[in-house]
């Protein structure tokens, strides 16, 4: 049974509970039956307060990407399956004084790409360049745990963007749980600080155009038409990756102890307040600290590269950093709740108390990537987003698997989407397009339809559209 609430909001009554879907008619009709099967499996978890899909929803492991699921902190549940494997994966945007005209020349853009690769390890097995960073400090203190040389502005009175213009610079947790982490994982994580990773992670140079109805907000954020920005997408690398399989086993054991069965072997959960739940939550917060530091250090490397190209005085302030894979304690409806977002972005409106201080007046930038051949978007949350616990999409969302993409999309089609051979070519760092064919625009949904769904639902609105100029992906 489907109840249409209007404004791209439908509520489906499934066997084990209700699922809210925010999508326009075209996107809604494209959702496959499997996503509803997975939703119903998730709704078997007791005492669920709320569950929804954003329009980029697609099949994941145990839970669909594009899920928001909420439980009360007092008697609720936590699920590693609804957090996802890349804990703390998220987006970061930095501003530059450059315009599109400044880097229109393809030789210059190629030089920029090569210089970024000098400072940012993009090879899948490359090691961190930052040997003086203490892994235990950043795991415990987030950005605050970095040596001062990597966060120079944090010590400048009144201008501390590295720690103020982020969703969270530090997550506090019970550090006693770190004793459970094997020594080899500490070493591996230390080797990965400031490394990009593979898959859909990227560093992208984009040119923006401001939406007229939000020009005032854009100006307050430091955005202007034709401006070049740097968008970064990465997560917690091996530190977060280890927690999924390691603690999924613990959750399965706990479920077996209580005689709880799941129709999907990849879907696990446990009460928040028992030991296994607390262990996972605390270590998940440690992974969130690694993730925000990793994106910070990726941006640091990009900044060093651009200083080599444009001079030592080149500035690249952070606009915002946020995550889209986590479970976070938040206050909603005057209660503390655990909000799981798996491939979902928090978008708070102006005046919301959870906004970072610099964005209390306007609401914070919500950073939504497209694919390397399509636009990305900078959005801002609206008051009506309360109905979806202020969650919006996290990107375009895959429309086909990596394997299917390689079978169905040709290199010529991929090259055409990147405008290869024209003055508007989107340059990539890869030596051959075949190596990243599974990340081509044809692998993803139409991002404009996704944004239309979010805007039409009143969850958020567009401040700026961001078109790609050059893309740096991980190299296998």
CATH code of 290's domain: 3.90.1860.10
Report the pLDDT value the prediction gives residue 19, as an integer from 0 to 100: 98
SS3 249: helix
Domains of the chain: total? 1
Question: pLDDT band at 408, cuts 50/70/90?
Answer: confident
Report the pLDDT value the prediction gives residue 245, as an integer from 0 to 100: 75
SS3 372: coil
Question: pLDDT band at 397, cuts 50/70/90?
Answer: confident
Strands (E), 122-280: 202-210, 227-234, 270-271
Please check whether residue 427 lies inside any domain of the structure.
no
Of all residues in the chain, the percent with pLDDT exceeding 90 is 80
Give the pairing of strands 50-58 and 17-22: parallel
pLDDT reading at 309 higher than 90: yes
45 CB-side CA count, 13 A: 29
Please check whether residue 408 lies inside any domain of the structure.
no
Report the pLDDT value the prediction gives residue 416, as an integer from 0 to 100: 85
Is 88 marked as binding a ligand? no
Distance, in Å, from the CA atom of 282 to the CA atom of 268, rounded to the nearest integer, reads 17
Distance, in Å, from the CA atom of 137 to the CA atom of 121, rounded to the nearest integer, reads 22
Please check whether residue 245 lies inside any domain of the structure.
yes
Question: pLDDT band at 155, cuts 50/70/90?
Answer: low
pLDDT tens track for 312-363: 999 999 999 999 999 999 999 999 999 999 999 999 999 999 999 999 999 9
CB neighbours of residue 25 within 10 Å? 12
> Of 305, 339, 277, which is closest to residue 111 (Cα–Cα)?
305
Question: Residue 63 gets which letter from DSSP?
Answer: S
Q: Could you tell me which residue, 152 or 6, shows the higher pLDDT?
A: 6
Is 371 marked as binding a ligand? yes
Is 202 marked as binding a ligand? yes
Report the pLDDT value the prediction gives residue 411, as an integer from 0 to 100: 87
Is 273 marked as binding a ligand? no
Take residue 228 and report the two structure tokens written for it.
């070049």
Please check whether residue 429 lies inside any domain of the structure.
no
Q: Tokens 């949904």: give the residue.
A: 445
Please check whether residue 406 lies inside any domain of the structure.
no
| Catalytic, out of 16, 58, 394, 416 | 394
**382 burial type by CB count under 10 A (0-12 exposed, 13-18 middle, 19+ buried):** buried
Report the pLDDT value the prediction gives residue 398, as an integer from 0 to 100: 78
Please check whether residue 108 lies inside any domain of the structure.
yes
Distance, in Å, from the CA atom of 355 to the CA atom of 162, rounded to the nearest integer, reads 16
Distance, in Å, from the CA atom of 184 to the CA atom of 266, rounded to the nearest integer, reads 26
| Catalytic residue list contains 394 | yes
Distance, in Å, from the CA atom of 285 to the CA atom of 173, rounded to the nearest integer, reads 6
Structural domain containing residue 114:
2-399+444-473
Take residue 137 and report the two structure tokens written for it.
């400090």
pLDDT reading at 400 higher than 80: no
Of all residues in the chain, the percent with pLDDT exceeding 70 is 99
Distance, in Å, from the CA atom of 123 to the CA atom of 231, rounded to the nearest integer, reads 19
H or E stretch covering 51: strand 50-58
Question: Average pLDDT, stretch 203-223?
Answer: 97
Give the pairing of strands 318-323 and 391-392: unpaired
- The most distant pair of C-alpha atoms in the chain lies apart, rounded to whole Å, by 64
Please check whether residue 90 lies inside any domain of the structure.
yes
Please check whether residue 263 lies inside any domain of the structure.
yes
Using the Cα atoms of residue 175, residue 181, residue 187 and residue 192 in order, give the sign of their dihedral. Answer: negative
Is 289 marked as binding a ligand? no
pLDDT tens track for 55-91: 999 999 999 999 999 999 999 999 999 999 899 999 9
Report the pLDDT value the prediction gives residue 159, as an integer from 0 to 100: 64
pLDDT tens track for 91-102: 999 999 999 999
Residue partners of 293: CB distance under 8 A and separation at least 6: 138, 142, 143, 145, 146, 193
Is 312 marked as binding a ligand? no
């Amino acid at each position: 049974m489907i109840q249409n609430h209007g404004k791209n909001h439908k509520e489906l009554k499934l066997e084990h509970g209700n699922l809210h879907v925010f999508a326009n008619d075209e996107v809604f009709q494209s959702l496959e039956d499997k996503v509803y099967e997975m939703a119903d499996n998730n709704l078997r978890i007791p005492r669920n307060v709320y569950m929804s899909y954003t329009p980029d929803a697609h099949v994941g492991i145990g839970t669909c990407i594009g899920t928001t699921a909420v439980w009360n902190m007092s008697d609720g549940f936590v699920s590693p399956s609804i957090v996802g494997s890349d804990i703390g994966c998220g987006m970061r945007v930095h501003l530059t004084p450059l315009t599109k005209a400044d880097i229109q020349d393809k030789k210059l853009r190629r030089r920029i790409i090569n210089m970024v690769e000098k400072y940012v390890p993009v090879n899948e097995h490359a090691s961190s360049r930052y040997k003086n960073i203490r892994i235990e400090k950043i795991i415990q203190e987030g950005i605050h745990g970095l040596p001062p040389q990597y966060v120079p502005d944090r010590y400048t009175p009144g201008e501390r963007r590295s720690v103020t213009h982020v969703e969270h610079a530090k997550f506090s947790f019970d550090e006693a749980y770190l004793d459970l982490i094997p020594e080899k994982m500490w070493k591996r994580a230390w080797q990965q600080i400031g490394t990009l990773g593979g898959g859909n992670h990227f560093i992208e140079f984009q040119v923006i155009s401001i939406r007229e109805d939000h020009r005032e907000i854009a100006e307050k954020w430091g955005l202007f038409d034709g401006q070049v920005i740097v968008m970064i997408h990465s997560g917690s690398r091996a530190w977060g990756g280890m927690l999924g399989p390691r603690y999924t086993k613990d959750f399965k054991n706990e479920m077996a102890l209580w005689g709880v069965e799941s129709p999907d072997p990849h879907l696990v959960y446990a009460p928040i307040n028992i030991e296994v739940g607390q262990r996972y939550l605390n270590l998940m917060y440690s992974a969130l600290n690694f993730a925000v530091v990793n994106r910070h250090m990726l941006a640091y490397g990009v900044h060093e590269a651009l200083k080599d190209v444009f001079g030592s005085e080149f500035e690249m302030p952070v606009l915002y950093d946020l995550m889209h894979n986590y479970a976070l304690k938040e206050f909603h409806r005057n209660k503390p709740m655990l909000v799981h977002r798996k491939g979902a972005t928090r978008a708070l409106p102006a005046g919301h108390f959870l906004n970072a201080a610099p964005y209390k007046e306007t609401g914070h930038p919500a950073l939504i990537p497209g694919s390397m051949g399509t636009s990305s978007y900078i959005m801002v949350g609206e008051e009506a987003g309360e109905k979806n616990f202020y969650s919006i999409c996290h990107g375009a969302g895959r429309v086909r698997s990596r394997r299917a993409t390689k079978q169905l999309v040709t290199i010529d089609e991929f090259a055409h989407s990147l405008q290869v051979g024209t003055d508007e070519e989107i340059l990539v760092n890869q030596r051959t397009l075949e190596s990243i064919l599974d990340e081509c625009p044809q692998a993803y949904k139409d991002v404009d339809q996704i944004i239309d769904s979010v805007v039409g639902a009143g969850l958020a609105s567009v401040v700026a559209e961001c078109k790609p100029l050059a893309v740096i992906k991980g190299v296998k």
